[in-house]
Amino acid sequence: MILPFHLVKSCGGFVFAAQGSDIHTFSSALEHVSTWKYPAQPVDKPHEPSAETQSSPAPEGPPAKRRKVEDCQDSVSIGQPAESTNGKPKSKKAAQYDCPANERPFIQGLYATADGRHLIAITGADKTIWVFEHDLAATLTLTRSMPKRPCALALTTDNRTILSADKFGDVYALPLLPSSTSKSVENSTANQSSPRSTTSSIQTPSRSTTPSAKPFKPQADPLTVHTKRNLKALEAQKISLARREAILREQQQAANRPQFEHTLLLGHVSMLTAICVGTSSSVDGRPREYIITADRDEHIRVSRGVPQAHVIEGFCLGHEDFVSRLCVAPGGRAELLISGGGDDDLFVWDWLHGTLLGRAGVLEHVKEVAGHEAASKVALTRIFACRWEGVRVVVFVVVECVPALFQFELLEDNTLQHRETIPLPGNPLDMEAIETPGATPRLLVAVYPGEEGGSSLIPLDKEEAGWRLGRVENLPAGGDANIGDEELQKILYSTESLRKSSDFD
């Protein structure tokens, strides 16, 4: 099936839209400019063996990663035969971990630097962060494969450091571009001219080609050795074996450790879901940076910026379900934070002091679109705030599997008020505002087409009579992906899965 556009981001006067694993570039007038395609050779993966080397025995390495999926018919493990080592067929439970369904290099996030010079993307299947230099071809500058799968990114105010939050609760800091004095071993791919044939040149530590030998176990033990000299020799032998095992462990850890400059800043005990950066003036008047993180356990933590990210300033506590989105208010109101997730309301915080300023209902407006019986819960997938008509600050909310946008206005008393509900021909996946000098911003929405079909990239223009749905001419159709509609929906509609199951539901 043809994949829909699922992510959009404005950067430096151009608009970038993700379609599966491809990134399309559009002008501000939404004219298609170029396409970057995911490299055929995955990042940090060894090249396929040639015909001359296929006959040679493969070196033994670490066991293949096992992933659990549902309803897998043909179970084929990654790097291992379908049968177990003893020749017997694998059990149904073991086979569930071997089928790599849903492991596709979809673009999971698009981010842009404030200066509009670089575009950043993350892919979930290979746990890779991609940095693109802003030009008409979206030239790939750098790729870095993270130790754990990133789920959200943020940039520091100086546009030099990427803050990467992963699903294991850790936040790493890594430079947007490596400095010339860095001791990292990452290699740039900036010399590649064609975005369609981009491949990674990241070098990874080579593994030993010597098959792992069976660990030596001494036949003697203190119960069978009776002389003093033999007992000393046995103790020396055990010490030598312990040292050898420690060296092997260190070598294995070094081989699996990312070979680029990165720093662990902070961690949660739960899966991180969102991250953003806030600024506030200190006593001396200088802006001070903070890292705001949210997790699946209803927590919003405020930590100091680099290099004191280990210091926790406070918490914003009040959510009763998972928090999926964070948004710092624009327009000179950076002291306000808007959050949402599995709760029925939007929350407005004075994030530096951890004070809840107000709540705005979302579920009541969702029921007007989806019906009172069909809608009983809310799963927010996007919170987008922008300046409107030069003065107002409006907040657009996207709810998973609801074909509408919900517009709120941030009032002077720091509360949110619902203004209107914008119906759409499909479920919105992402949105972006295209700034126009002297005019109201134009909205660009990526939607999952309904049963009637239609375009998956829809521009919205505000008029006196309401919203006018436009059309992007000469929209690239994209490749025909070998993926079913049910599997695609599991990839695109993943926010509701953050909700914890309860026996009382």
pLDDT at 381: 95
Single-letter code of the amino acid located at 442: R
Confidence of residue 466 (pLDDT cuts 50, 70, 90): confident
pLDDT at 294: 96
Quick check: 113 and 10 in contact, CB under 8 A? no
| Residue 7: pLDDT over 80 | yes
| Residue 44: pLDDT over 50 | no
Helix, strand, or coil here: 249? helix
The top-scoring range by mean pLDDT among 32-41, 388-397, 475-484 is: 388-397
Q: Which is higher by pLDDT, 196 or 409?
A: 409
Quick check: 15 and 440 in contact, CB under 8 A? no
Average pLDDT over residues 433-449: 85
Single-letter code of the amino acid located at 45: K
Single-letter code of the amino acid located at 151: C
| Residue 299: pLDDT over 90 | yes
Out of 221-230, 252-261, 320-329, pick the least confident: 252-261
Confidence of residue 350 (pLDDT cuts 50, 70, 90): very high
Give me the chain's average pLDDT, please: 77
Average pLDDT over residues 355-380: 90
Confidence of residue 254 (pLDDT cuts 50, 70, 90): low
Q: Which helix (H) or strand (E) holds 364?
A: helix 363-370
Confidence of residue 259 (pLDDT cuts 50, 70, 90): low
Average pLDDT over residues 473-487: 77
Quick check: 287 and 156 in contact, CB under 8 A? no
pLDDT above 90: percentage of residues in the chain: 40
Quick check: 184 and 260 in contact, CB under 8 A? yes
| Residue 284: pLDDT over 80 | no
pLDDT at 257: 58
Confidence of residue 180 (pLDDT cuts 50, 70, 90): low
| Residue 38: pLDDT over 50 | yes
How far is residue 292's CA from residue 169's CA, in Å, rounded to a whole number? 13
| Residue 436: pLDDT over 60 | yes
Structure tokens at 185: 């071993």
E-only strand ranges, 136-286: 139-145, 150-155, 161-166, 170-175, 263-267, 272-281
Confidence of residue 184 (pLDDT cuts 50, 70, 90): very low
In this prediction the pTM is: 0.74
| Residue 148: pLDDT over 90 | no
Quick check: 128 and 143 in contact, CB under 8 A? yes
pLDDT at 256: 56
Average pLDDT over residues 304-328: 94
Average pLDDT over residues 413-426: 93
**Sheet with 161-166, edge to edge strand ranges:** 150-155, 161-166, 170-175, 263-267
Peptide bond between residue 49 and the one before it cis (omega within 30 degrees of 0) = no
pLDDT at 39: 82
Average pLDDT over residues 420-446: 89
How far is residue 211's CA from residue 213's CA, in Å, rounded to a whole number? 6
Quick check: 318 and 347 in contact, CB under 8 A? yes
How far is residue 33's CA from residue 23's CA, in Å, rounded to a whole number? 11
| Residue 191: pLDDT over 80 | no
Q: Which is higher by pLDDT, 330 or 78?
A: 330
Average pLDDT over residues 395-412: 95
How far is residue 347's CA from residue 326's CA, in Å, rounded to a whole number? 10
